[in-house]
Structure 1
Amino acid sequence: MTEEVGEDDGRRPVAEAPLPLPMEFEALYVLNQEAFHDLALAVLGTNDAAEQAVHRAFLEILRHWDRLREESEDLQQEIWAIVRRTVISEGLLSLRERMAALDSGTGLYAALGSLPPRQFDVMVLRYIGGHDTEHISWYLGVTQSTVDYHCRKARERLSPIHRRILKSQREENA
C-alpha cells in the first residue's frame, strides 16, 4: 500500500470509465429527450437549467432501470413521474413566481402556474411545446382521452382572454 493517491499510471480511474447503457434505455432517451427538454425549458426558463434537469432525471431513471422494467405496469408513466418530480416539482413554486414576472400584462403565465400539476403539464406540452394529444398521451403515460380531459379542465379554469392567447399561440406553433 505504498501507492500515492495522485499517482498517474496511465490508466483511467474507475469513476471515469464509461458504463455501457442498456439498449432500451438509449432508445427511451432518444424518443423522450426532446419532450422532456421542452417541458423542462418551459418550467425552468433557461436551456442550461433544462438540460441539467433532464440529465438528472435520466440518471435517476437509469439508477432504477432494472426495477422499472421488471415491476412497472406502465413504464412510460413511471418514467414520466420521475421526470416530472425532477423537473417540475422541484421548481414549481419558483416557476409560478417567474411565470408571473415573465408575463407582459396578460396574466397568462400566472394563470398557467395556478393550474393543478397534471393540467399544467398538459398545457405546457400542448401550447408551449406544441405537441399533439397523441404524443402528450404517450409522454405522460395516460390515455388520449385523459389528456383531452386535463386540457379541457385547464381551459375551463382559464379566463376567456387566456384561452384566446393560448389558441393563437398554438396556431402559430402549427
Structure 2
Amino acid sequence: MPEIVAPQESGRRLTLTFQAFLATHARKWLAYAYLHTGSEDAAHEVTRAAYEQLGRVWPHALRQASVEAYAWAVLKERVTEWLYDRRQPTALTETAAFAVVTHALLRECQQQFAMLESQLGLYAAISRLPERQCDVIVLRHVIGYGDAQIAALLGVDEVTVRSYASRGKRKLAAALGIDQG
C-alpha cells in the first residue's frame, strides 16, 4: 500500500484508525478502481486520491452513520471523476475479471447461468444495470465482498443487498437471453 498522509488534525488514535481502515479496504478498493479504469496505474491513482481525500476529512468521516458508506462514496466519486476527466466510459466491459464473474455466477446459479461463458456481452450487460444493482453484482461476484460488507458500503441493510442482487441477476439473465425456468 502506498504511503498516505494520515489525517491532518490527528492524534495517534486517529492515525491508527485511518491506517487500519485503509489496510482493511485497500485490496478491494484497488480492484474496484481497476474494473472501472482498466489500468493498474489508473487504479492506484484513483485509490490514492480517495485515500488522500478521506485522510483530510477522517474526523468528519468517523462521525458519519456509516464510515464505510461514507468512504465508499468518496472512492466512487474519485472513480467517476477520473472517468469524466478523461471522457472515458467505465472499462467494466473490457476488464480481465470476466472469468471471475462468470465462474462465480456459474457456481451460484449453475443451471440459470450455464450459458454465460459463451455470452461475450456479460460485462456490457452488467454495466447497463441500474447503479446499485451493478455495484452489488461487482462487489459480490468480482471483488468478493459478503452481503454484510456490501450493505455497510452502500448504507443499506442485507435484505436490500440480496434484493439488488436478485433483481440484477434477473435483468442479466433477460439481457443475455438465459431462461430462468
Amino acid at match of 1:60: Q
Quick check: 1:119 aligned with 2:162?
Answer: no
Shift of 1:55: 0.7
Equivalent residue number for residue 63 of structure 1 = 56
The answer on whether the counterparts of 1:111 and 1:158 sit within 8 Å (CA) in structure 2 is yes
- Two-structure CA RMSD over aligned residues (Å): 2.8
Whichever residue aligns with residue 66 of structure 2, its letter is D
Q: Is the 8 A contact 2:50 2:78 kept in 1?
A: yes
Question: 5+ residue gaps in structure 1?
Answer: 1-17, 165-174
Flag the structure with higher helix content.
1
Q: How high is the TM-score relative to the length of structure 2?
A: 0.67
Displacement of 1:43 after TM fit? 1.1
CA contact (8 A) 1:119 1:153 kept: yes
Query: 1:128 and 1:88, CA in 2 relative to 1: closer, same or farther beyond 3 A?
Result: farther
Counterpart of 1:30 (choices 17, 23, 33) is 23
Superposition deviation, residue 89 in structure 1: 5.8
Deviations 1:28-79 (A, max 9, x none): 1011111211111111112111111111111111111122223x12222111
- Pairing 1:129–2:121 present: no
What's the offset of the Cα at 1:141?
A: 3.6
1:84 is the counterpart of 2:98: no
- 113 and 94 in structure 1: CA distance in 2 versus 1, 3 angstrom threshold: farther
Matched, 1:95 2:89: yes
In 2: Cα distance, 1:144 partner to 1:39 partner? 20
**Counterpart residue type for residue 143 of structure 2:** G
Q: Is the 8 A contact 1:106 1:162 kept in 2?
A: no
User: Aligned residues, how many?
Assistant: 145
What's the offset of the Cα at 1:82? 0.7
Q: Would the alpha carbon gap of residues 140 and 32 (structure 1) be closer, same or farther in structure 2, given more than 3 Å must change?
A: farther
- Correspondence for 2:10: none
C-alpha displacement of 1:100 = 4.6
Q: Distance between the aligned counterparts of 1:163 and 1:40, measured in 2?
A: 29
The amino acid across from 1:117 in the alignment is E
- The one-letter amino acid of 1:79's match is A
Amino acid at match of 1:113: S
| AA in 1 matched with 2:47 | V
Q: Specify every segment of 5 or more residues in structure 2 that has no aligned partner in the other structure, as ranges.
A: 8-14, 99-117
Q: Is the 8 A contact 1:99 1:113 kept in 2?
A: yes
Q: TM-score, normalised by structure 1?
A: 0.69
Percentage identity across aligned positions? Answer: 25
Q: What is the match of residue 168 of structure 2?
A: 154
* Cα distance in 1 for residues equivalent to 2:5 and 2:51: 14
1:108 alignment partner in structure 2: 122
